[in-house]
């Protein structure tokens, strides 16, 4: 059990389980992008650990960029996605792999979808470590899913609760009261 701010969290996914999911995703990406030079576009802050691991396992040439958006206050999505830090390179005509830590409502994805359309990318695929199918409300295809999980609030492996917990190498879920 761990305490972050005012909430308690209990162990949920081990580092081993997370690494196994990342290995499988990396195998798929290596197959699908063999001979290509994709741009991996990580969504900060949450995806930094996942992005690092995926990129280390990618066997071909690639470029890396990041975008920062936010929609959370505490444990709830505000529903209002704010662009906090934009792209620092042109993606026109490029193949992009969007790296998300978690997809729940899909609001962030919808915002990034608009950004990528304006950029004129050749195509893009969505890669997420965690996917909450019961929370997902959008129609954007999630191409690569590490793990499907219930709609519970989790921290660790890049995910936080009001800034804490990102550095945990395992994932914890909010303890039910």
- List the chain domain ranges: 2-174
- Distance between CA 52 and CA 173 in Å, rounded? 23
- Distance between CA 159 and CA 138 in Å, rounded? 21
- Angle, helix 48-57 to helix 15-32, in steps of 10 degrees: 50
Over the chain, what is the mean pLDDT?
Answer: 92
CATH of domain 2-174: 3.40.50.2020
Catalytic residue among 32, 36, 104, 160: 104
Would you call 104 a catalytic residue per the annotation?
Answer: yes
Q: What pTM value is reported for the model?
A: 0.91
User: Is beta strand 171-174 parallel, antiparallel or unpaired with respect to 154-155?
Assistant: antiparallel
**What confidence tens digit (pLDDT) does each residue in 52-103 have?**
999 999 999 999 999 887 555 555 555 565 565 677 788 999 999 999 999 9
Contact 102, 131 (CB under 8 A): yes
């Amino acid at each position: 059990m761990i305490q972050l701010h005012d909430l308690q969290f209990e162990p949920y996914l081990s580092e081993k389980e997370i690494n196994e999911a990342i290995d499988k995703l990396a195998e798929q990406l290596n197959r699908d992008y063999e001979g290509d030079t994709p741009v991996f576009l990580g969504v900060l802050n949450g995806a930094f650990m996942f992005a690092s691991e995926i990129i280390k396992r990618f066997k071909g040439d690639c470029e890396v960029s990041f975008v920062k958006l936010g929609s959370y206050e505490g444990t709830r999505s505000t529903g209002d996605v704010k662009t906090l830090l934009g792209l620092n390179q042109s993606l026109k005509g490029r193949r992009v792999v969007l790296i998300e830590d978690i997809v729940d409502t899909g609001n962030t994805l919808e915002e990034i979808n608009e950004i990528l359309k304006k950029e004129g990318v050749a195509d893009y695929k969505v890669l997420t470590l965690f996917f909450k199918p019961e929370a997902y409300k959008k129609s954007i295809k999630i191409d690569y899913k590490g793990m499907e999980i219930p709609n519970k609030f989790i921290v660790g492996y890049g995910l936080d609760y009001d800034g804490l917990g990102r550095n945990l190498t395992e994932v914890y879920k909010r303890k039910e009261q």
